Structure 1
Amino acid sequence: MKKISAVFDGLKFADSTLAYAVKLAESSKALLSGVFLESFLYNSYRLDDLIGSHGLSQVKMKHLLEKDKASRLKLAGIFEQACKKAQLSYSIHHDPSFSVPEVLRESIYSDLLLVCAGETFSPIPGQPPTHFIRELLAGTQCPVLIITAEYQDIEKVVLLYDGKPACVHAIKMFNYMMPWLRGKATEVVSVADSQDTAELPDEILVREFIACHYPAATYTLLIGYTEEELLTSLKNSSKNSLVVLGAYQRSGVSRWFKSSMADRLMKAIDAPLFIAHH
């Protein structure tokens, strides 16, 4: 049995996170852990909501804190009912501390983290990739599935390949976590700088490896500047697709998948991203 940890904001519940989490747990017969993050620095109210006729009101503060607690418990209840309906093994974690360190701690004991691209765990909205997502991806100890704001069935898998160990490791981890997607249309996408170098790195080896897991996979070799060609290609084919990336690290393991590449994909395409460290 695998363990999937789905990360939730108890004050701004992401329905798509629940939908993806239940689907993945059903498909892999996994333990689904709902991680509901809390922080004394993050509440639904503003500072001026605490001001009464005689200054800071302890009564108002108590009322608003209880309201937030009730909201978190209610949304955790929605998660629990969905798990029971789907007959899943599940657990619920309320982590009352700073959000990023708590999620990173959860990642040590998970096979996969699942989180919505727009999560901020802050009253201030943000556009993907948010500060929270950047910090999470830089330090996670397991693969992460960054999902879209709206659930969509996965009909195609795109494996980004540049010949480096990081991207091959990501494909291995993806195959381990989501073997039921082997029957979906699968495309291996690579980029060459010019026609003179227009070939897959380690072509014989990678085709042999891919054929073991995705025998019907097709191959696309793009020519040109890596980021531009990838973004153009994925924008045209990302509908109902899931994209597998090889790394997300501050130092950048590969010339493709430095943090800037993953960031640009999150901004440019509306598709789930499976991201794994090597």
Structure 2
Amino acid sequence: MIKRILVALDPDEDTPVATRFSIRLAKRFDASLTGLAVVDISNIHSAIGIGGYGTEIYGRQIWTEMADETRRIAENLLNSFKQRVEKEGVRHRDVKEQGASYDLIVEEMKYHDLLVVGRDSHFFYNQPDRDTDTLANVVKKGVSPTLVVMNEYRSVENVIITFDGSAPAARSLKAFVHLLPYGKDIEIDLVYVADGESSEDMDKAMTILKQAEDYLKEHNFRYISKEVLEKGEPGERIMEHQKKRSPDLTVLGAHSVSAVKRAAFGSTTHHLITNSEVPLFLSP
């Protein structure tokens, strides 16, 4: 059951969507929300490129201005969050911390059941176009599940659960079942990307999916289908299946060993984080 939800606030367009998802969940479970704004100024020195003695005073002035701007943005984010959740009558707390963004988010996750965050969150408020590895580090090192949302809100009634029998996939499946974010009357599509084309490969895939189906049925999920997707790059196969089925959410495991430079995700997760048009539910 969900009783405390953490919302990581960022100036990107998907933060209001994350807030909306969080409000709906909070109302469903009578849960409280925590809006977290992180004043992360660790990038400022590299941003202004402080040089020799002649530029030190000027650099210090620019550093102060950028730090002040970052704090102002954090305050604005918290104010917007507060106004929205209070309008909806949801209990909340507002937190502003200074430090490395992913460290602070991970610390707060220890005391929350779910993190809701936008896919495009960058967290360097003073450089809104600069990409960061914050999301990857949070999912890898966090201790609670993460709901990654895109730029559009949607009610969740149809869910794809990607399941290959691995530990990361099992953790995400179990977290989704135990938290019950959208109840038990949702339609679930269990999918496995085949390892090969032989009958042994198909049997293995169906056996693993059957085990996942039995687990879901024991928890009183009733509307379950299973499908083995043909062999190929898993991220691309899952994306093709998303387009075919138009789900409202995809559940998948977050692999900690990366096959993609600068990402702490596995290659499949990275592909879906980058390209998915529907929210993703992941567990560390």
TM-score normalised by L of structure 2: 0.80
Residue 201 (1) aligns with residue 221 (2):
no
Instruction: In structure 2, list runs of 5 or more residues that go unmatched.
Output: 50-56
CA 1:98/1:164 → structure 2, altered by over 3 Å: closer, same or farther? closer
- Identity rate, percent: 19
Matches for 1:101-250 after TM superposition, within 5 Å: 101-122=103-124, 123-125=127-129, 130-192=132-194, 193-196=196-199, 197-199=201-203, 200-202=206-208, 204-212=210-218, 213-227=220-234, 228-237=236-245, 239-250=246-257
Name the SS of the counterpart of 1:229 in structure 2. Answer: helix
CA 1:64/1:161 → structure 2, altered by over 3 Å: closer, same or farther? closer
CA 1:201/1:81 → structure 2, altered by over 3 Å: closer, same or farther? same
Separation in 2 of the partners of 1:232 and 1:126?
A: 29
Q: Deviations over 1:159-208 (max 9, x none)?
A: 11112343233112112223434222211111222141213234553332
What amino acid does structure 2 have at the position aligned with 1:230?
I
1:7 and 1:36 in contact (8 A); partners too:
yes
1:39 and 1:98 in contact (8 A); partners too:
yes
1:156 and 1:242 in contact (8 A); partners too:
yes
2:38 and 2:96 in contact (8 A); partners too:
yes
Matches for 1:22-37 after TM superposition, within 5 Å: 22-37=23-38
Name the SS of the counterpart of 1:182 in structure 2. Answer: coil
Residue 275 (1) aligns with residue 282 (2):
yes
Instruction: In structure 1, list runs of 5 or more residues that go unmatched.
Output: 49-54
Q: For structure 1, which segment, 226-235 or 76-85, has the greater mean C-alpha deviation from structure 2 after superposition?
A: 226-235
TM-score normalised by L of structure 1: 0.81
Separation in 2 of the partners of 1:224 and 1:40?
A: 45
Name the SS of the counterpart of 1:230 in structure 2. Answer: helix
Separation in 2 of the partners of 1:204 and 1:60?
A: 60
Separation in 2 of the partners of 1:110 and 1:23?
A: 16
Quote the offset at 1:224 in angstroms.
1.4
1:5 and 1:114 in contact (8 A); partners too:
yes
Separation in 1 of the partners of 2:111 and 2:120?
A: 24
1:146 and 1:273 in contact (8 A); partners too:
yes
